[in-house]
Amino acid sequence: MMNEEALGWVIRTRDPDFEDWTGFTAWLEADPANASAYDALMAADSEMDSLIPVAPVTLPVAANDAGDRRPRFRWIAGGAVAAALVATVSIAVLNRSDIYSVTTRPGETRTIALDDGTTVHLNGDTTMRFDRKDARFAALDRGEAAFTVRHDAANPFRVTVGDDVFEDAGTVFNIVHSGDATRIGVSEGKVIYNPKAEAIALPAGRGLTEDAGGLRVMDVAPASVASWRQGQLIYANATVSQVAQDASRSLGIAIRYTPQAAAMRFTGTIRLDRDPARFFAQAAPLMGLDAVRQQDGWLLEGGNGSHD
């Protein structure tokens, strides 16, 4: 991804024999975020001086240059040293003071207004990271968030989810990330999934799911995208396990389910009610299930389920 490319340029430009300045300049100009990533990694790399002694090298001056205008870089060779550089740079980037996290408790929602005009709505039990110096960056570590993005073709808004990147093209979309599973639905505009790899375009009315079963693209009802913000959950052939997880996040209550119940499918609309008893009184029958109150939450079971 971007940081890996930037790290590659950091390592290469440190080489006194490096000559591909044209390629390096083209990479910097290809995306405004490239220069920021490169500068951040170079700044973090400077902290390696106390760990690895290296000698400064002066690069040759071009014939038409009045002086040495190129920065002096240092080269580190060897796999072990390169690994140390990667580790140090990664830690430094993650701990940058301009990167900050926002976390919501189960049942709590929060709205973040970014400087570029983008709005991010966090559902319950969600953690996200933002960059004070780059309003076009966000990372969803866990939970659910809805995005209303101000489009800028020259500087697209990107959401990082694990190893994946979702890039907007003037968009309203919702992402859920839980464990190793990610799903996104788009209600307006278009999102590009991993623009530098699969580059799957998701226009309004399309969604994507990635989990242990692989990658799947499907149709979604635009009204169902981020429907939790309107106090309801809308589904088309969703598993009961997904419904339970969504409801738990929005209501802040523990919801379990028997294996039989988890595998059942549901299509319809469920109204979110902050009173658990009222919620399950209307939700369980819609799904063809029974809801049993437990000491620390609720259990969904089918007709042949058990309380165990």
Backbone angles phi, psi at 277, to 5 degrees: -60, -45
Residue 107 resides in a domain: yes
pTM: 0.68
Residue 284 resides in a domain: yes
Residues 204 and 179 in one domain: yes
Give yes or no for a contact between 98 and 42, defined as CB atoms under 8 angstroms apart: no
**Range in 47-51, 96-100, 144-148, 153-157 the model is least confident about:** 47-51
Write out the residue range of the structural domain in which residue 60 sits: 2-94
Give yes or no for a contact between 185 and 149, defined as CB atoms under 8 angstroms apart: no
Residue 209 resides in a domain: yes
Residues 7 and 81 in one domain: yes
Quote the tokens at residue 277. Answer: 């008893």
Cα–Cα distance between 236 and 151 in angstroms, integer? Answer: 29
pLDDT at 306: 42
172: CATH: 2.60.120.1440
Give yes or no for a contact between 248 and 106, defined as CB atoms under 8 angstroms apart: yes
- 299, 123, 219, 208 alpha-carbon torsion, rounded to 10°: -100
Position 38 pLDDT exceeds 60: yes
Cα–Cα distance between 166 and 139 in angstroms, integer? Answer: 10
- Is 233 strand, coil or helix? strand
Percentage of the chain modeled with pLDDT above 70: 75
Backbone angles phi, psi at 120, to 5 degrees: -120, 125
What would the mean pLDDT of 101-126 be, rounded to a whole number? Answer: 96
What would the mean pLDDT of 1-27 be, rounded to a whole number? Answer: 71
Domain end: 181, 200, 223, which one? 223
Residues 84 and 19 in one domain: yes
Position 65 pLDDT exceeds 70: no
Backbone angles phi, psi at 274, to 5 degrees: -65, -15
Residues 111 and 206 in one domain: yes
Residues 42 and 72 in one domain: yes
Quote the tokens at residue 196. Answer: 């530098």
pLDDT at 2: 55
Length of the chain: 308
Residue 181 resides in a domain: yes
Residues 192 and 271 in one domain: no
What would the mean pLDDT of 250-272 be, rounded to a whole number? Answer: 95
The helix or strand, by DSSP H or E, that contains position 199, with its residue range, turns out to be none
Quote the tokens at residue 285. Answer: 């029958």
pLDDT at 79: 44
Contacts 24+ apart (CB under 8 A), 185-192: 185/220, 185/224, 185/225, 185/226, 186/220, 186/222, 186/225, 187/222, 187/223, 187/225, 187/226, 188/222, 189/149, 189/151, 191/166, 191/167, 192/166, 192/167, 192/168
Residue 308 resides in a domain: no
Contacts of 206 (CB under 8 A, 6+ apart): 185, 186, 217, 218, 219, 220
Residues 145 and 199 in one domain: yes
Nearest CA to 209 out of 269, 254, 164 is that of 164
Residue 306 resides in a domain: no
Domain end: 223, 252, 279, which one? 223
